[in-house]
Chains A and B, each alone.
Chain A
């Protein structure tokens, strides 16, 4: 087994400059929890390991004129304990409670989760509902990529070898209702078979005045579900209406994935999870 060369970047500029010349042969190490598994299995086989885990520039969580900025090197535990994220992106905070296990949350980063582009990346649906933009640096400067564009397919991101995600800019939104739910084979650590993120607000009559909903894991890339949002927007969520919205969601999922063998399980499961995540809305809007 050929060994790798290890390079630790001391500054963001140094990391970007290094990637501009060695990007093709380089694996970026943030938390390492996905990288290690892929390196040991031989799936990931490159010459250099570039450690960006100690870059302070990737570790900030702050509100700026642009929005809620979360550095790509922020760990899931840091997301979980950040008052700013709890206030402005509560669905993301909820997702960090059930992400993998405590041991993994302590080191795994949001940037790594997105860059790995696993369809079951738990942080992606919450980032999607906040219309997050990934700020990506390379030798030519920085550019923004929207969350629905960054994953080009299962385990494929549109990031080029010289690219490094610096941060995510979320549209902060203080809402009355926000949640993240998933289905896995085990409560902790299971790869999500299906995940959902939602946030919503209501007007004084109890009709929904704002809703963002995203589906993850059961489609190759995460999707914001416009059809579901517009079906519920401006309406009072009732048991009946949510059942109908769940049917629309299942139809949309089938449109994206096609009728695969797993559909016998996925169709009722997606509707069931949809009811589980949205049902508390019925009572909340009736208040």
Chain B
């Protein structure tokens, strides 16, 4: 049966995305199967685990609870948008330094919750951090390491901790621009079928 499709346009990690999707498609399916970015994970599918956390207009959101059509006109960042030109984002660096990654399934979601937190509050205290990532479950239960990683990545502390990191923060806006220039056309409609097949292959 031919499903009714709706046209959406949004910015994903600085690139313009334009595609036709069925109304019932979740934002997560749009990102994974429509665009083919597999970094964002689906855990529970009902908004309890936070593995699908993405940033929409600067705010952390569960992509599994959002209709794809709600992304229309929004500025979206996924875990793939953190790394710039082969350089990891300071938050990612700190997750490596402090062993914040075990099996890694929850990591993209935790990174995005952290990224949104720092945008809102560059100097969060322990309680702010707990609140920000309370919606992210880690089945490996590596919460202490996740917490230490986030604390180490706090932008205002980063100046003392690692001067290189501070400058990378300043460069962030610039990097975003170059990413936009780098690739503006994603021929999504044509590749969608292949992407879906690929997704099925990989389970």
User: Which residues of A are interface residues toward B (Cβ below 8 A)?
Assistant: 1-6, 8, 29, 32-33, 36-37, 39-40, 49, 51, 53, 77, 97, 100-104, 106-107, 187-189
Contact = CB atoms under 8 A, between A and B. Distances in A.
B40 interface: no
10 contacts: A1-B24, A32-B65, A32-B70, A36-B66, A36-B67, A40-B24, A101-B62, A102-B133, A103-B135, A189-B135
A96 to B, nearest CB: 12
Interface in B1-51: 1, 3-4, 6, 22-24, 26, 45-48, 50
Contacts of A5: 4, 23
B60 interface: yes
Contact of A106 (B46, B61, B64): B61
Q: For the complex, would chain A's binding face be called helix, strand, loop or mixed by DSSP majority?
A: mixed
A33 B135 contact: no
A49 B47 CA distance: 20
A33 B6 contact: no
Looking at A36, A40, A103, the one whose CB has the most chain B CB atoms below 10 A away is A103
- What interface size band does chain B fall in? 20 to 34
Given A33-B47, A103-B47, A104-B65, A53 B70 contact: yes
A189 B67 CA distance: 20
Nearest to A107: B61
Interface of B: 1, 3-4, 6, 22-24, 26, 45-48, 50, 53, 56, 59-62, 64-67, 69-70, 113, 116, 131-136
Nearest to A81: B120
B47 A51 contact: no
A104 B26 contact: no
A188 B134 contact: yes
B177 to A, nearest CB: 26
